[in-house]
Amino acid sequence: MPLHVLNPAAGFSPGIGFFVSGMDEVREQLQQAVEGMTNQELGRRAVPGAHSISALVLHIGEAEWWWMRCNVSGHKLTPKDRQAPYWDVLKDPDSFASKHYSAKFCLDEIAKIRNQTRDLLASFNDDDLERIISFERRDERHEHSLRWILHHLIDHESQHKGQILMLKRLIAG
């Protein structure tokens, strides 16, 4: 019988390390889901109104980048940030589809973001999990603990991974 355990990622405090391990597990599943897909499959919209798989992969990276860089680190969004290939990928599906990004490109982009997240989290300890991060968005004040943000990132990626797997089945026919 296989044994499944989750250990904290090395190089992090135990609590942070458990979140990093969870994030990495979901990322590995996402990579397995999209590796080997053609550019056409990745860019195809399986049904009207759906986003392409490549857009969803990059959106996962965009969300992680925004939460960790802009909210946790306090970075102010710049015009250059908005030129990143992952920025606002869900806004204009037709325009995005014309880019024909490969699985490797999409996975490389979100890997860069994950490495930035790992570097940032390595500087935190378990006490930081309860730290409240406050920010303004759309003229509304938001407050979240780092613990909640990390949980949210795992949940967000897991939900889109499921969506991607469903779209992949629809595309395969």
Give the contacts of 6 (CB within 8 A, at least 6 positions apart).
Answer: 18, 21, 22, 25
Burial class of residue 44 (count of CB atoms within 10 Å of its CB; 0-12, 13-18, 19+): middle
Are 21 and 6 a contacting pair, CB within 8 Å? yes
Indicate whether 92 pLDDT > 80.
Answer: yes
Superfamily of domain 55-172: dinb family like domain (1.20.120.450)
100 pLDDT band, cuts 50/70/90, is confident
What was the pLDDT predicted at 3?
86
What are the distances in angstroms from CA 36 to CA 18, 24, 149, 164?
A: 29, 20, 31, 14
What are the distances in angstroms from CA 16 to CA 33, 73, 108, 161?
A: 26, 16, 23, 22
The 10s digit of each residue's pLDDT in 135-150 is: 988 899 999 999 999 9
What are the distances in angstroms from CA 122 to CA 20, 133, 158, 168?
A: 10, 17, 23, 35
Task: Record the pTM.
Answer: 0.94
The 10s digit of each residue's pLDDT in 46-67 is: 988 889 999 999 999 999 999 9
